[in-house]
Structure 1
Amino acid sequence: MFSALHQINSRQLNLLIFVACTAMMLAAAYMEHVLKMIPCSLCITQRGFVVLTGVLGLVAAIHNPATTGRRAYALLGIISPILGACFAGRQLWLQSLPEDQVPACGPGLSYIFEVFPFMEALKLLLQGDGNCAHVDKIFGLSLAAWTLIAFIGLALVNLFQLVRKDNKLA
């Protein structure tokens, strides 16, 4: 895989990151609005990190900086999917719990943000609840597992961007 990455320059690779994240968000929108799969709080948190990673890729592609800037974008592009992977991992952990150990389901997000102070609402959002233990599978894996795999891939591509030698193709 990495040998194929050597053939494209940093701008193209950052654009590829943006396109991958856009595809992930389109798939999430399709699952939510067409398949009626309601996202839990951890799913929404993971979406935030997908968007952040994609925006970083787009900005890096537009900016197309020299080595130092490329490495700075790549470092941020590693941190974002790693944080997203933490939330996907938490969701996988919740999904692996026996039914009697799954935390109770909480109120909806709009209610949480209306009633609780922002920091407490954010804490509730980030820790997840019983809704996050629901498993929807696609091709034999849960959505959280697929998202974790995607975050790992995005982090690896950004790691490649961080350590690669300058590629002056354009």
Structure 2
Amino acid sequence: MQWRNYRFINGLLVLASIVGMSFALYLEHVKGLDPCPLCIFQRVGLMVMGIFALIAFLHNPVSNLMKRFYSLLATLGILWSVGVATRHVWLQTLPPDKVPSCGPGLNYLLDALPLKTVLNEVLSGSGECAAIDWTFLGFSLPVWSLAFFSVLLLICLWQLLRTYPTSRKAKK
């Protein structure tokens, strides 16, 4: 069964990361949608998952410990994206009078403030993160992102927690 193969699943995760990033870049560069800071942070988690899935795909470890290690790192990456996307969706559901005010852009924050302060500022969200610029079937981009990241998280968790067959070499 191909879907149970560790390497095959990591290949699918890499492909999903490439497709997700390609779509984000398409919306940014072709459709002209500028990403807010929360969107950028969601991309970071997707790329982290994709990088560790690629490493696992290329390495194709025999050891169950290494399989779980790569899966843990990929899971942490996409868990970050799920968390940030959840925050983003929550910001978009706030009434207009409860939305935080817009702050300076991410580039300015990175230049002017320490990283810990930047993370705190970005994750608290701003007015630009609450704006809904794009919808599909009545749902905003952060809602679709959250759904996509949640499916990837479930796959990563399955890779992390599943029982791997013992190798034939270990039986001999």
What TM-score do the two structures reach when normalised by structure 2?
0.88
2:87 aligned counterpart, secondary structure = helix
* Residue of structure 1 in register with 2:136 after alignment: 138
Aligned residues: 164
The runs of at least 4 consecutive aligned structure 1 residues that moved more than 4 Å come to none
* Residue of structure 2 in register with 1:159 after alignment: 157
* Residue of structure 2 in register with 1:105 after alignment: 102
Structure 2 distance, partners of 1:166, 1:134, is: 48
Q: Is structure 2 residue 89 aligned with structure 1 residue 62?
A: no
2:32 aligned counterpart, secondary structure = coil
Amino acid at match of 1:37: L
Amino acid at match of 1:23: V
Give the conservation status (yes or no) of the 8 Å contact 1:91–1:132. yes
Shift of 1:160: 2.0
The 3 A distance-change label for structure 1 pair 167 and 150 is farther
Shift of 1:114: 2.1
Alignment of 1:108-119 (within 5 A): 108-119=105-116
Greater alpha carbon shift after TM alignment, 78-87 vs 36-45: 78-87
**Of 11, 16, 19, which aligns to 1:15?**
11
Give the conservation status (yes or no) of the 8 Å contact 1:52–1:80. yes
Amino acid at match of 1:137: T
Sequence identity, in percent? 38
The 3 A distance-change label for structure 1 pair 4 and 137 is farther
Q: Is structure 2 residue 41 aligned with structure 1 residue 42?
A: no
**RMSD over aligned Cα atoms:** 1.7
What TM-score do the two structures reach when normalised by structure 1?
0.89
1:37 aligned counterpart, secondary structure = coil
Q: Any unmatched runs of 5+ in structure 2?
A: 168-172
Q: Any unmatched runs of 5+ in structure 1?
A: none
Give the conservation status (yes or no) of the 8 Å contact 1:11–1:64. yes
Structure 2 distance, partners of 1:165, 1:123, is: 39
Greater alpha carbon shift after TM alignment, 116-125 vs 64-73: 116-125
